[in-house]
Chains A and B, each alone.
Chain A
Amino acid sequence: MAVMRADGPHRKSWLQPGASRLAVILALLGAWEIAARLYVDRDFLSPPSIVLVSLGDVLGTPGVPEALGLTLYELTIAFVLSVIIGLTVGLVIGLGRFAHRSFMPIVLLLYGMPQITILPIIILLFGIGAPSKIAFGVSHGVFPITIAVAAGVQNLKAVLLVSARSMGASRWQIFRYVVFPQMVPSFFAGMRLGMTGVLLGVLLAELYVSTAGIGYFTGIFTQNLDSAKLLGLVSILAAMAIVLNEIVRRAEVHYSRWRA
């Protein structure tokens, strides 16, 4: 018996890791529920059961569904723009040796900048509506995609190019059948990072603007000490972020599996 229970990779656990993970999450929610009901002032932290019930109220608050829809729209547009710009710039920088050496440091420099510092200026320039949020989302999303695309076409094996050329492939054919497939995995990895960036940028700008959109409602709920509604709204946005991340991650797994 003692031998059977010895540590090691062969030990069978009584629960699958996924099931234990679920149990951990449920235990945390349970602890939160108990703590919120017994020890914490309801104005500041609501138990999850009440948050769940209040989700209907949150969505019933006039203006909230529109604000959520607008945020989803901003996220989509910002992501599409980031992909288009990132792909174009990444290809230009990645395919030319000289362009890569000259402009990659500038892209890395911009990527390393704390973009949050320019948020107030973006709002002043583009106003409190959707354009400022899209612009700020793009400023976060475009750099990881650019860098990933440039890196993806950089690692191209010279043998592949030479053999394609020796078999008489045209420029377009080389791009379509050699460069593009090579680039796909890092492109999707970049898109995943880009999505994380776009989510951060758009949501930062949404929270910053306190006179319209999501930021207006988080402000109102905070001032009214309506912690259930605040948590509900934040949870809906977090769920939105999880779904969008998951879509991009699935796409990445799907399109990179041929390499494995």
Chain B
Amino acid sequence: MRRTRAGSTGRFWSRVVQLAFLACLLLLWFLATTEWGVNQLLLPNPIAVWDQLLDVVMSGEFVSDLILTLEELAAAFAIAISLGVTLGYLISRSPYLIKVFEPLFAGIYAIPIILFLPLYVLVLGLGPASKVALGATIGFFPIVLNTIAGFGTVDQTLQKAARSMGANGIQMFRYVLFPAALPVMLAGLRIGFTVALLSVIGSETLASLAGLGHRIVNLAESMEMARTFAYIVFVVAIVAVLNTVVSRLEARGRWR
């Protein structure tokens, strides 16, 4: 009893420290722009940023960029899933193929694939196609690696037991392999979603004609700093919401 109370008061003070830390940052930011004369072109006033953020959200100006980015993400993720899960499952059926392909994919995954963006742009142009392709490429690797790991490590005893009870191929997949592999595979899908999202926004930032990443670059290059910061806050919030939704979905799928 005493321990739990000590634990909860400790937790309370941790929250206080966290909030105080964030409040201090905001206060420093505010003072830097109002009192200490930091150039507004480098650091806009937080209140101005807040006003701009309200304006962005209220005016609905963000809608077309947001929809484009989400469409690119959806296409990239769909391609990454279909290729990653199919290939991963086929490879996982043979220990030999796992040994051949798993280190290969893991090795490529460690390279920053964003390096190849100029090639994608050269072949597919500045439009959405190059973003979709890059997002699909980068999202593919965690998905295929986790699918291999999920299906490749299903307990041999379970498989033998099911087979000795006369399970056919479909039953084997439906009742043994798939449920056993699902948690690892879902973790791969979540990571794949996150990296695909980041690479879509990233490639919009580096070379594009439209989309949320492009909007931030445009505003920053025209020195509209308050609005740039507002858009950054907006995009960070969108990404946080999407990641939270996907994590929830993953947790729910795992429970089933």
Interface residues of chain A, those whose CB is within 8 Å of chain B, are 9, 13, 17, 20-21, 24-25, 44-45, 97-98, 101-103, 105-106, 112-114, 116-121, 123-125, 196, 199-200, 203-204, 207-208, 218-219, 221-222, 225, 227, 230-231, 234, 237-238, 241-242, 245
A208 to B111, CA, bound (A): 18
Given contacts A101-B11, A207-B117, contact A241 B111 (CB under 8 A): yes
Whether B115 contacts A44 by the Cβ 8 Å rule is: no
Instruction: Pick the residue among A13, A45, A119, A196 that contacts B110 (CB under 8 A).
Output: A196
Residues in A whose Cβ lies below 8 Å from that of B198: 114, 116
5 contacts across the A-B interface (CB closer than 8 A): A21-B103, A24-B100, A120-B228, A196-B112, A230-B119
Whether A203 contacts B217 by the Cβ 8 Å rule is: no
Whether B118 contacts A222 by the Cβ 8 Å rule is: yes
Residues in A whose Cβ lies below 8 Å from that of B119: 45, 227, 230-231, 234
The stretch that binds A, out of B13-21, B52-60, B171-179, is: B13-21
Whether B115 contacts A234 by the Cβ 8 Å rule is: yes
A103 to B19, CA, bound (A): 10
A117 to B240, CA, bound (A): 13
Q: Does B61 contact A (CB under 8 A)?
A: no
Q: Give the distance to chain A from B170, nearest Cβ to Cβ, in Å.
A: 19
Those of B183-231 within 8 Å (CB) of chain A: 197-198, 201-202, 205-206, 213, 216-217, 220-221, 225, 228-229, 231
Q: Give the distance to chain A from B219, nearest Cβ to Cβ, in Å.
A: 8
Whether B104 contacts A102 by the Cβ 8 Å rule is: no
Q: Give the distance to chain B from A55, nearest Cβ to Cβ, in Å.
A: 16
A52 to B215, CA, bound (A): 38
Q: Does B116 contact A (CB under 8 A)?
A: yes
Residues in B whose Cβ lies below 8 Å from that of A105: 18
Instruction: Pick the residue among A97, A204, A225 that contacts B202 (CB under 8 A).
Output: A204
Interface residues of chain B, those whose CB is within 8 Å of chain A, are 10-11, 13-14, 17-18, 21-22, 41-42, 95-96, 99-101, 103-104, 107, 110-112, 114-119, 121-123, 197-198, 201-202, 205-206, 213, 216-217, 220-221, 225, 228-229, 231-232, 235-236, 239-240, 243
Q: Give the distance to chain B from A108, nearest Cβ to Cβ, in Å.
A: 11
Instruction: Pick the residue among A97, A101, A218, A245 that contacts B118 (CB under 8 A).
Output: A218
Given contacts A117-B236, A222-B118, contact A245 B206 (CB under 8 A): no
A238 to B235, CA, bound (A): 29
Q: Give the distance to chain A from B10, nearest Cβ to Cβ, in Å.
A: 7
Of all chain B residues, the one with the shortest Cβ separation from A201 is: B112
Instruction: Pick the residue among A97, A106, A121, A204 that contacts B232 (CB under 8 A).
Output: A121
Instruction: Pick the residue among B95, B116, B206, B236 that contacts A234 (CB under 8 A).
Output: B116
Residues in B whose Cβ lies below 8 Å from that of A117: 201, 205, 213, 216, 231-232, 235-236
Consensus secondary structure, chain B interface: helix
Residues in A whose Cβ lies below 8 Å from that of B240: 112
Residues in B whose Cβ lies below 8 Å from that of A98: 10, 13-14, 17
Q: Which 5 interchain pairs have the tightest Cβ spacing? A: A120-B220, A17-B99, A102-B17, A218-B118, A101-B14
Whether B96 contacts A121 by the Cβ 8 Å rule is: no
Residues in B whose Cβ lies below 8 Å from that of A103: 17-18, 21
Given contacts A116-B205, A120-B220, A121-B220, contact A234 B118 (CB under 8 A): yes
Whether B13 contacts A21 by the Cβ 8 Å rule is: no
Q: Give the distance to chain B from A39, nearest Cβ to Cβ, in Å.
A: 13
Residues in B whose Cβ lies below 8 Å from that of A124: 41-42, 220
Residues in B whose Cβ lies below 8 Å from that of A200: 112, 114
Q: Give the distance to chain B from A44, nearest Cβ to Cβ, in Å.
A: 5
Residues in B whose Cβ lies below 8 Å from that of A17: 96, 99-100
Whether A237 contacts B115 by the Cβ 8 Å rule is: yes
Whether A119 contacts B21 by the Cβ 8 Å rule is: no
A203 to B107, CA, bound (A): 18
Whether B118 contacts A114 by the Cβ 8 Å rule is: no
Query: Which residue, B14, B42, B236, has most C-beta atoms of chain A within 10 A?
Result: B14
